[in-house]
C-alpha cells in the first residue's frame, strides 16, 4: 500500500480548522453570484482553486489572508453559513476525519445585517 493510500485510509483528527478557510471553490462562485459579489479574481472553479493555492503558499501572511476577504464576503447569510458548514462536514467525512475542531469569528459575518444569534445557530 502506498503512503497516500495509507493516509487516506486511517482516521484523522483535525484541530483548529478555520471554517472560512476551506470553502469549496464552486460554492464560493455560486454564493458570490447569489450575493452579487463581484470581486472574485475568476469565476472558473479550477482557476479559483489555483488562485487560493498560490496565495496560501507564498509564505506571506498578508497575501495569504487576501483569500479570506472573498470567503468571508460570501458567508454573510444564514443560508450560506449553513451550506458551508454542512459541506465542511461532508468534506471532513470524505477525508476520513473522525474529529474536527472548527472555529470561525462571527464578527466577520455581520456585514449584511445578521445578528450574532443567527450566525451561531
**DSSP code of 66?**
H
Average pLDDT along the chain, 121 residues, taken 10 residues at a time: 89 96 97 98 98 92 92 98 98 95 96 94 83
The predicted model scores a pTM of 0.92
Distance separating alpha carbons of residues 117 and 53, to the nearest angstrom:
33
pLDDT in tens, 14-47: 999 999 999 999 999 999 999 999 999 999 999 9
∠ Cα 93 52 76 (to 5°): 75
Distance separating alpha carbons of residues 7 and 58, to the nearest angstrom:
26
- Of 77, 87, 92, 88, the C-alpha closest to 32 is 77
For the chain, give percent helix, strand, coil, nearest 5.
60, 10, 30
Amino acid at each position: 500500500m502506498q503512503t497516500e493510500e495509507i493516509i487516506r485510509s486511517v482516521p484523522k483528527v483535525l484541530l483548529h480548522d478555520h471554517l472560512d478557510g476551506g470553502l469549496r471553490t464552486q460554492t464560493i462562485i455560486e454564493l458570490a453570484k447569489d450575493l452579487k459579489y463581484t470581486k472574485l479574481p475568476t469565476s472558473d472553479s479550477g482557476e479559483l482553486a489555483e488562485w487560493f493555492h498560490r496565495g496560501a503558499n507564498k509564505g506571506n501572511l498578508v497575501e495569504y489572508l487576501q483569500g479570506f476577504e472573498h470567503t468571508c464576503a460570501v458567508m454573510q447569510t444564514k443560508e450560506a453559513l449553513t451550506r458551508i458548514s454542512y459541506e465542511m462536514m461532508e468534506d471532513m467525512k470524505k477525508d476520513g476525519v473522525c474529529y474536527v475542531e472548527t472555529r470561525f469569528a462571527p464578527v466577520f459575518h455581520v456585514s449584511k445585517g445578521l445578528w450574532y444569534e443567527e450566525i451561531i445557530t
